[in-house]
A and B are shown apart, each in its own frame.
Chain A
Amino acid sequence: MSSMREIKNRINATEKTSQITKAMHMVSAAKLRKAERAIKAFRPLTRRLSRVLGRVLAADRELTHPILEGRPAEKTVYILVSSDRGLAGPYNNNLFKAFEKYVEKHHDTKDEFEIAALGYKAFSFAKRKKYTLINEEVIQVRDDVQFLDFQSITDEFIKGFLSGKYDRIMVFYTQFVNTLTQNVKHQTLIPLHDNPLLELEEEETSEKEYKTIYHYEPSAGKVLQELLPMYVVNLLYGMILEAKASEHASRMTAMKSATDNAKDLIQDLQLHYNRARQDAITTELTDIIGGAEALN
């Protein structure tokens, strides 16, 4: 059995760690609430934007745009939405595992795709695996993430898609279900194949008897040209917000269990400590008694 002092030291160390994990748990809980608020605040914008887009598309069925149409995918861009920091339980690892599995199934060589890494963890993962990266610098996914933060990368892949450099853009992110459940999901960002916008508009028009005819400034085609990239970026932003909430939830759960484990460990160690102390006392007593007896 280890000495009393050793056990005491370990108890102290564990206590300190549990204090830190407890604090992290609370911070994550607060941040999660904030992230959930951000998602809620963002929803009206997506809804309105898709409504406007749906109207433009429904007005003229002939209207089309490369972003809407699919083409054989020779080169794919995968956007990995990860976190900057670790200690978030299996959050990043799950994503990377799902991604590797997917790549193994769908690609023969690493030349068939490129990676757009959002967050430091994804960046270093891609570097480690020697994947081709679009972004040369780390793009941080801050807690208060804004469009501006990842604008450089969205410009890059939208331009790349329009020029024919890339044929498909896919996102891997973690969908937020609730505090305990987060799922890794992958979704095609470009092209917007199975067009959810058009369906949306059809529902609306069936309710109304007549259709409003809109004017477009300067023209429907031009408006579409502007709106589609914006819509894509908005979709991505929504996913990032979800991923952010998932990160905090994941970290929260991880820190909660870490704190609980620390508590168990301390209890266990305390038992050992008490036993060791009792042991020491007994030894001391026998020593004294033995000594006294020897004197007699």
Chain B
Amino acid sequence: MIKLVVVTPSGELYNETVDYIVVSSKNNGDFAILKDHAPLISAIDVGYVKMVQGDKTLYTVIINGALENQDNLINIIAQEAHVGLNKDSAMQHLNEVRQERLEENRKRTQDFLKAEKELRKNIREAQASKR
């Protein structure tokens, strides 16, 4: 049994024991970590971790992360991560969430600028009526 902990900026995402994991990332391909693996440190740019426990399989997709394995304890540090049953759907979900977020930010900025402009206009008008 290996203990697996996935931490994200908003706290612990996953903390369970697993049989083995498979790490797949864009920068260095795939590798598996089984029980009693030698101490290992790796970085993940974009990729996923397949976590297998018995006949259950879960996928954690990760964007910008690091992995540390020592004494059957695997620490995964991720800036953004999402757990799903399927790597494609999890990735898709994460991407969708990111896309939405960016879109929302853009919209907020626009709304903000618009509101600011309107406010300035109103102030100007209010002052004009004073004179």
Contact = CB atoms under 8 A, between A and B. Distances in A.
Interface of A: 38, 41-42, 44-45, 48-49, 51-52, 55-56, 84, 120, 137-138, 140, 142, 146-149, 212-218, 222-223, 226-227, 230, 233-234, 237
Given A230-B64, A233-B79, A217 B9 contact: no
Interface of B: 7-12, 27-28, 31, 38-43, 45, 64-66, 68, 70, 75, 77, 79-80, 98, 101-102, 105, 108-109, 112-113
A149 B101 contact: yes
Contacts of A217: 28, 31, 40-42
Given A48-B75, A212-B39, A222-B43, A138 B113 contact: yes
Given A52-B66, A148-B98, A215 B40 contact: yes
Nearest to A147: B79
Contact of B108 (A49, A55, A140, A227): A140
A230 B66 contact: yes
A89 to B, nearest CB: 21
A146 B102 CA distance: 11
24 contacts: A38-B10, A41-B11, A42-B11, A45-B8, A52-B68, A52-B75, A120-B112, A138-B112, A140-B109, A146-B9, A214-B40, A214-B41, A214-B70, A215-B38, A215-B39, A215-B40, A216-B42, A217-B28, A218-B27, A218-B28, A223-B43, A227-B43, A233-B64, A234-B9
Contact of A48 (B43, B45, B77, B102): B77
Nearest to B11: A41
Contact of A226 (B7, B31, B66, B102): B66
A38 B9 CA distance: 8
B27 A222 contact: yes
Contacts of A222: 27-28, 43
Interface centre among B11, B41, B98, B112 (most CB of A within 10 A): B41
B45 A147 contact: no
Interface centre among B10, B27, B39, B79 (most CB of A within 10 A): B79
